[in-house]
């Protein structure tokens, strides 16, 4: 039996019993990085490390299915920046995560392999569920969020992100979504939004959930109506969802982008206050070690021009070292800087006087708990928030897709077709789709 038979079942009217009866293949194709290549970029600058060289399309054996788990036929996935980090082996090789996980118990040993199947998003069809799974069955059309937790400690019982064994699936675990079949914990599964194609449904998951916790949830900034929200990379992966949340929640996004084209995308989402950081030439660092507070002030002045004199209630931070000093400075008294990443460097510097004297807060945020991921997916399913898929690649070309994201050549989200033979398949609710078709296509081919 091969994955072709699985695809044929998905494209027919197969029932749950039919799916359960399909014999599973012994192997499948997956995007991997290799443990014996983790030093391949030693000595190179970050920007010169090329994911096209380190990612491979390999035939890999099907992993054993454990209790509480599901095997999913992946129709489509998407590229996240964590796959860029994995493929350039920064800030560290992900094989360390797999080894550490492998040491925790007998079943987790499966993850500690000389190859890492990457990818933290998927849309597809459940093939098999393990013992103890009752909520999902073969044939269910699903998306998967990327929170993997064990839930054996009380630390995570209020907020699953606080579980001491919290991992990001496809980054800190093996058997990720950039593959024809993926292994997930069944609690990662959520219903696939019916009005979206496979590749559209696979695009929002990780970034949409992250932006939801970071900006909207009480665990993050708890955004409210009227807030001025400074959004870095407002047309990028995280930013394109943060911008939508700000607009849908009655806040006022101040969108930072780096080109006219990206400014136009933000405008078409409904944003009015837009700063082109490239055109306006902000240089927050005079040299590698010295920031330039005059540039923070010039940036703050521009924000005031756009807001009618108001400062920022919430900064949606992720560029990190390059922007963090400016972000802390432009936040209003009592305001919040919420950060989930450090793309340009994780050793941040800011002038702490502006933080404590003006009673500002920095909040660390990471992905989303089970409930937040579910709520974020619900907003997609209801057509309140839309995928920001720009371009779609074949599984073979995943390295190129990751290269584009690494070099900031993309818009919004980049999709990958895994088992889906072409784009546009998998739509079940044509009525809801028709209602939102312009928004769904907003980022396509720009
Ligand atoms: C959803 C998508 C998300 C993204 O895209 S995020 C962006 C990509 N992700 C990243 O860039 C993050 C990658 N991860 C990392 O860089 C590392 O993962 C961390 C820096 C987050 C953590 O490093 P680690 O090595 O796992 O942990 P340690 O704390 O540096 O070392 C562990 C050792 O330190 C001991 N330790 C921890 N806390 C304390 C303490 N408070 N006092 C004393 N010791 C402590 C532990 O016990 C253990 O020790 P022992 O090595 O002997 O086992
Ligand atoms: N902790 C978590 O849960 C998560 C963390 N992340 C992390 O967040 C970061 C961003 O992810 P994502 O949004 O998907 O990536 P994208 O590359 O899709 O978007 C990021 C955008 O940020 C802007 N940007 C990049 N570098 C700088 C810089 N030096 N100064 C100012 N703006 C910059 C760019 O927009 P422009 O050029 O238009 O300004 C870019 O398009 C990554 O490091 C990723 O690993 C992502 C998801 C979850």
Residue of 404, 376, 403, 380 lying closest to 390 (CA atoms): 404
Q: Which atom of ligand 2 is nearest to the CA of 322?
A: 29
Q: Which atom of ligand 1 is nearest to the CA of 367?
A: 1
Ligand nearest to the CA of 318: 2
Ligand 2 center to residue 236 CA distance, Å? 7
> What is the rounded distance in angstroms from the CA atom of residue 128 to the CA atom of residue 139?
9
- Where exactly are the structural domains of the chain? 3-207+368-440, 225-364
Whether residue 283 has a cis bond before it, omega within 30° of 0: no
pLDDT of residue 107: 96
pLDDT of residue 69: 98
Ligand nearest to the CA of 146: 1
pLDDT of residue 445: 80
Alpha carbon nearest to ligand 2 atom 22, residue: 233
Question: What's the predicted TM-score (pTM) here?
Answer: 0.98
Cβ contact 172:96 at 8 Å: no
CATH T-level assignment (fold) for domain 225-364: Rossmann fold (3.40.50)
Ligand 1 center to residue 161 CA distance, Å? 15
Q: Which atom of ligand 1 is nearest to the CA of 346?
A: 11
Whether 278 is in the pocket of ligand 2, judged by its Cβ within 6 Å, is no
Tens-digit pLDDT string for the chain (446 aa): 689 899 999 999 899 999 999 999 999 999 999 999 999 999 999 999 999 999 999 999 999 999 999 999 999 999 999 999 999 999 999 999 999 999 999 999 999 999 999 999 999 999 999 999 999 999 999 999 999 999 999 999 999 999 999 999 999 999 999 999 999 999 999 999 999 999 999 999 999 999 999 999 999 999 999 999 999 999 999 999 999 999 999 999 999 999 999 999 999 999 999 999 999 999 999 999 999 999 999 999 999 999 999 999 999 999 999 999 999 999 999 999 999 999 999 999 999 999 999 999 999 999 999 999 999 999 999 999 999 999 999 999 999 999 999 999 999 999 999 999 999 999 999 999 999 999 999 999 88
pLDDT tens digit string along 81-121? 999 999 999 999 999 999 999 999 999 999 999 999 999 99
Whether 169 is in the pocket of ligand 1, judged by its Cβ within 6 Å, is no
pLDDT of residue 1: 63
| Token pair for 198 | 């496979």
* 309 C-beta neighbours (distance < 10 Å), count: 8
Whether 210 is in the pocket of ligand 2, judged by its Cβ within 6 Å, is yes
Ligand nearest to the CA of 169: 1
Residue written as token pair 């992905």: 367
Residue written as token pair 């950081």: 277
Which strand ranges, in their side-by-side order, compose the sheet holding 56-61? 56-61, 27-34, 115-117
Ligand 1 center to residue 99 CA distance, Å? 14
- Residue among 148, 171, 237 whose CB has most ligand 2 atoms within 8 A, to mutate: 237
Q: Which atom of ligand 1 is nearest to the CA of 92?
A: 16
Buried b (16+ CB within 10 A) or exposed e, 127-164: bbbbeebeebebbbbbbbbbbbbbbeeeebeebbbebe
Alpha carbon nearest to ligand 2 atom 33, residue: 319
Ligand 1 center to residue 97 CA distance, Å? 10
CATH T-level assignment (fold) for domain 3-207+368-440: Quinone Oxidoreductase; Chain A, domain 1 (3.90.180)
Cβ contact 22:5 at 8 Å: yes
Ligand 1 center to residue 215 CA distance, Å? 24
Whether 405 is in the pocket of ligand 2, judged by its Cβ within 6 Å, is yes
* 342 C-beta neighbours (distance < 10 Å), count: 18
pLDDT of residue 35: 98
Whether 205 is in the pocket of ligand 2, judged by its Cβ within 6 Å, is no
Q: Which atom of ligand 2 is nearest to the CA of 238?
A: 13
Ligand 1 center to residue 409 CA distance, Å? 31
pLDDT of residue 321: 98
pLDDT of residue 13: 85
- Residue among 79, 82, 89 whose CB has most ligand 1 atoms within 8 A, to mutate: 82
Whether 81 is in the pocket of ligand 2, judged by its Cβ within 6 Å, is yes
What does residue 286 show for φ and ψ, rounded to 5 degrees? -75, -40
């Amino acid at each position: 039996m091969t994955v072709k038979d699985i695809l044929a079942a998905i494209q027919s009217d197969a029932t749950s019993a039919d799916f359960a009866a399909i014999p599973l293949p012994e192997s499948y194709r997956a995007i991997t990085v290799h443990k014996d290549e983790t030093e391949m970029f030693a000595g190179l600058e970050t920007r010169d490390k090329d994911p096209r060289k380190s990612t491979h399309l390999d035939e890999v054996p099907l992993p054993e299915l454990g209790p509480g788990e599901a095997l999913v036929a992946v129709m489509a996935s998407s590229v996240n920046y964590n796959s860029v980090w994995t493929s350039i082996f920064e800030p560290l090789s992900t094989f360390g995560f797999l080894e550490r996980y492998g040491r925790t118990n007998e079943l987790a040993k499966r993850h500690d392999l000389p190859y890492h199947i990457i990818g933290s998003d998927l849309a597809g069809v459940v093939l098999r569920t393990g013992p103890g799974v009752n909520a999902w069955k073969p044939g269910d059309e699903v998306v998967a969020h990327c929170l993997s937790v064990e839930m054996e400690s009380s630390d995570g019982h209020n907020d699953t992100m606080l579980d001491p064994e919290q991992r990001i699936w496809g980054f800190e675990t093996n058997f990720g979504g950039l593959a024809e079949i993926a292994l997930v914990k069944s609690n990662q599964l959520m219903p696939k939004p019916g009005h979206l194609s496979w590749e559209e449904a696979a695009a929002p998951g990780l970034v949409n959930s992250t932006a939801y916790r970071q900006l909207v949830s009480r665990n993050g900034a708890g955004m409210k109506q009227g807030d001025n929200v400074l959004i870095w990379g407002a047309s990028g992966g995280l930013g394109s969802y943060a911008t939508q949340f700000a607009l849908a929640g009655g806040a006022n996004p101040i969108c930072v982008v780096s080109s006219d084209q990206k400014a136009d995308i933000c405008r078409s989402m409904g944003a009015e206050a837009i700063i082109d950081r490239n055109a306006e030439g902000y240089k927050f660092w005079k040299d590698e070690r010295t920031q330039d507070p005059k540039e923070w002030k010039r940036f703050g002045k521009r924000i005031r021009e756009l807001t009618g004199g108001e400062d920022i209630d919430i900064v949606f931070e992720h560029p990190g070292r390059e922007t963090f000093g400016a972000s802390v400075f432009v936040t209003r008294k009592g305001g919040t800087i919420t950060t989930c990443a450090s793309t340009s460097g994780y050793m941040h510097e800011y002038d702490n006087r502006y933080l404590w004297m003006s009673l500002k807060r920095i909040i660390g945020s990471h992905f989303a708990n089970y409930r937040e991921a579910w709520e974020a997916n619900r907003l997609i399913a209801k057509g309140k928030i839309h995928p920001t898929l720009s371009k779609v690649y074949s599984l073979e070309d995943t390295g190129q897709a990751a290269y584009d994201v690494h070099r900031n050549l993309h818009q919004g989200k980049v999709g990958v077709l895994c088992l889906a033979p072409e784009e546009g398949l998998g739509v079940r609710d044509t009525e809801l789709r028709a209602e939102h078709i312009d928004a769904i296509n907003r980022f396509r081919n720009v």
